[in-house]
Structure 1
Amino acid sequence: MANEAQIRRIMENAMGLAPNALDNALGAGQTLADRIQTAGMGGIVGMPTFSGKEDEDINDWIRQFEIAFTVSGRPEGNVGGGVCRQNKANVAITCLRGVALQWYNEEKEKVAANLVNWCDHNEDRNLKRRLIDRFTRNDVQRRKMLELTRIKQRTNESVEEYTRRFRSILRVATRGHALDDLYQVNYFIQGLDAMLGYHVRRNNPTNLNDAVNEAKREEEAKDELLMKTTGLDMKRVGQEKNMEEILKEETNEYKGMNPIAKELQKKKLKVRNGMS
């Protein structure tokens, strides 16, 4: 049975930590488990995970992982003249989940010596390159491109939320193949609420950022107009219920009332929604 010192060495190797990193004296009330959690500025805690789902971008994950690894202060474990990083590959493996982890296990069963380094070399031993090759698939990109051409802003979905969905799909659909600004703008506008899209297109934005900013301005103007004409706080309406439901309730509430009663009811509605 392994003693405490041997357990420390095993944990250091598994986590990609420097030798003897877990040997310092424990603080008052601190356990070895606590030390493992905090070793290397957080250890594995905080490392981004990758599951291999279609809406995940392998290149985005690699960038996030490499930043987190650098911040953790771990030694990279140079192999072959300092080009490949063995420790970085070991830590990356602990971040794999779902389909990605299944793929890794299947590949290791085929050839145990593969997927042990982290570099840009195009070879079977290089985990980074093989992950990019495996999870940058043409069929996925085609499906995402089709999704991009059909995306629609949902009921009560803000421009910001819609933009977040649009950019997520765009990243996967265009991995390694930049899409011309003209098409990005067209797909974005075509998916907007019809009235918003009309106003944004009329201003002829030249790139996606301009189109997004224009859509947000139009959304703010529309909300301000509706608030002035209906007395409703549109941000609260978006959080609580569909605008169509609000207007229907308001219409039914006034049905059959004489003009004076209607005006009194409108004032009550304004007070209820925090209007003076």
Structure 2
Amino acid sequence: MADNPEAQPWIRRYHPIPDVPVNLVCLPYAGGSASYFFPVSRALAPRVGVLAVQYPGRQDRRREPSMSSIAELADAVTANLLPHTDVPLAIFGHSMGATLGFEVALRLESAGVAPLALFASGRRAPSCHRDERYHLLGDDEFVAEIKSLSGTNAHLLDDEELLATALPALRGDYRAAETYRYEPGPPLHCPIHALVGESDPKATVAEARAWAGHTTADFTLHTYPGGHFYLDEHAPRVLDVISRTLTARPRDLSNTAK
């Protein structure tokens, strides 16, 4: 039985797996929700469990104020993940979720929990700063920017009622992503696997390759035809990369930092 959202507001398990060998923490993009990863959870079971993160300010958490900084989100997500670290975990984040995943991984390592891997999708490396201020635009210009990325739910923004409900969380997420500033420090010790669309306006292949400088472990770069939401079209290929990476790991690999 899937988790009760009231009992687990931050972490959703849509397909709980008894004695799960490894969990994949899934962090949504700006404006995204945990339910985006329902198909991912179904596809990876039972080899890999999925812990999908639900940010405040959307869907069943729409009455809660959204968080306006990556640091605030990372602190909250990490605190809610710590009870789940009895099982080895990896992190997947798309767009804003990749930046958030990096900060969560840093916090987990500081707490003595070593993620197996970080899958950073559709996002430039933290050290590659762009001065973007879309969150300051008026509503029409802001919505036009979101639609230009061609996400699967972009058409929902044509519904005025849905737009009014979604806009505060969208703007809050954009504010968090755009005001984030990387603070140089020790790199991660887990492998980083960067994934990017070849024509992504939000992350060039070179900017994705720069993730290599944020880990002392292995790094791989996977490119796909398409733009910012390349993964909607290439989900089977992306899931294959994740599944092969996590199921091929050494069986004696611990999730406890040495």
- Give the TM-score category using the shorter length: under 0.3
TM-score by length of 2: 0.23
Compare CA radii of gyration and give the structure with the larger one.
Answer: 1
Using CA pairs below 8 Å that are at least 6 residues apart, which structure has the higher relative contact order? 2
TM-score by length of 1: 0.22
Decide which structure has greater helix share: 1
Decide which structure has greater strand share: 2
